[in-house]
Amino acid sequence: MKWSGWWVVVVLAGVLSCTCVRAQIVNIEDQRRGFDTLGWYGQIDLGGNLTRNQNKVVSLNGNVRVDRKGTNQALLALADYRLVQVSGNNALNAGFLHLRYARYLSEVWRWEAFTQVQYNEQLRLGLRTLIGTGPRLKLISSGKNRVYLGILYMYEYDEVAEGTITYRDHRLSSYLSFSLFPLPNVVVNNTTYYQPVIPDFRLPRLSSITSLSVRLTDRLAFNTKYSITHDALLVQGLEDVPATTYEWSNGLRYSF
């Protein structure tokens, strides 16, 4: 895609969203894309629903991503916001901003560094900031199918329950990820994270995220994603927040 002109495409109709409970881990693996040429790339997702029966339900979601692909390095920037209101009360209010830099060391190795800011009102997560770095290894490469392993160090700062609980943790952020293309227009992605606190490995954060994308046209695709996370450490002392959360979401994506 060439940035010869600026234009915005808004896709509102046909966007479905079923959010059962909100996930804590942002799945960056699902956000990675392969590009054939060097340069800048961009993408905008926008969605909204309005339902009026006994209650009025309003849902809004949107995200923006920017990629820069170079000969031996890459940059990824992501921003996401979601809001669901039922009769004026927030059933979901969450967002994040993520920035990641990668340096290619060889065909199978790369070194990455990232930072992230996140909040989630329903999990009573007022603020989460992350900074980390580490290697990423390509285990399998067959056609378009890929399997990756990442083992990164991460420093995490969390403010929970309106700032009354604060965590400052050093974590191992490891993951196994794969992308499969069973059909030319279908891609299946899965990422499983293991994020224990260092050196205490008794209460690790565990997460598994699976997504399916079906390309309808060259620019339009239908996406569905299911994620589940278990984090017993974050919810200690918070009886109203479950240790295990999950999410199922569906939508349309227009790429430009």
**Residue 142 placed within a domain:** yes
Which of 54-62's residues contact partners 24+ apart within 8 Å by CB, and which partners?
55/86, 55/87, 56/85, 56/86, 56/87, 56/88, 57/84, 57/85, 57/86, 57/87, 58/83, 58/84, 58/85, 59/17, 59/83, 59/84, 59/85, 59/92, 60/84, 61/15, 61/17, 61/251
**Residue 18 placed within a domain:** no
Asked if 23 contacts 93 with a C-beta cutoff of 8 angstroms, the reply is: no
> Who has greater pLDDT, 114 or 201?
114
Q: Quick one: three-class SS letters along 30-60? A: HHCCCCCCCEEEEEEEEEEEEEECCCEEEEE
Only one residue has tokens 């170079």, namely: 70
In three-state secondary structure terms, 157 is strand
Of the pLDDT bands very low, low, confident and very high (cuts 50, 70, 90), residue 237 is confident
pLDDT at 72: 92
Asked if 105 contacts 111 with a C-beta cutoff of 8 angstroms, the reply is: yes
Of the pLDDT bands very low, low, confident and very high (cuts 50, 70, 90), residue 7 is very low
Of the candidate ranges 154-158, 159-163, 224-228, the one whose mean pLDDT is the lowest: 159-163
In three-state secondary structure terms, 162 is coil
Residues whose CB is less than 8 angstroms from the CB of residue 28 and which lie 6 or more positions away in sequence, other chains included: 76, 78, 98, 100, 114
- Mean pLDDT on 12-22: 31
Res 1 pLDDT > 90: no
**Residue 11 placed within a domain:** no
| Total count of domains within the chain | 1
For residues 239 and 66, what is the distance between their CA atoms, to the nearest angstrom? 39
> Which residue segment(s) compose the domain that 98 sits in?
28-255
For residues 96 and 176, what is the distance between their CA atoms, to the nearest angstrom? 22
Only one residue has tokens 């952020």, namely: 173
Condensed to tens digits (0 to 9), the pLDDT of residues 77-89 reads 999 999 999 988 8
**Residue 16 placed within a domain:** no
For residues 23 and 90, what is the distance between their CA atoms, to the nearest angstrom? 16
**Residue 4 placed within a domain:** no
Res 34 pLDDT > 60: no
User: How buried is residue 219: exposed, middle or buried, by Cβ count under 10 Å (0-12/13-18/19+)?
Assistant: exposed
Query: Which secondary-structure segment (H or E) carries 7?
Result: none
**Residue 115 placed within a domain:** yes
Of the pLDDT bands very low, low, confident and very high (cuts 50, 70, 90), residue 60 is very high
Of the pLDDT bands very low, low, confident and very high (cuts 50, 70, 90), residue 161 is confident
**Residue 211 placed within a domain:** yes
In three-state secondary structure terms, 228 is strand
Query: Which secondary-structure segment (H or E) carries 233?
Result: none
**Residue 203 placed within a domain:** yes
Which pairing describes strands 205-215 and 220-230: parallel, antiparallel, or unpaired? antiparallel
Condensed to tens digits (0 to 9), the pLDDT of residues 98-141 reads 999 999 999 999 999 999 999 999 888 999 999 999 999 999 99
Read off the CATH number of the domain in which 194 is found: 2.40.160.40
- The mean pLDDT value of the chain amounts to 84
In three-state secondary structure terms, 66 is strand
For residues 96 and 159, what is the distance between their CA atoms, to the nearest angstrom? 15
Q: What percent of the chain stands above pLDDT 90? A: 62
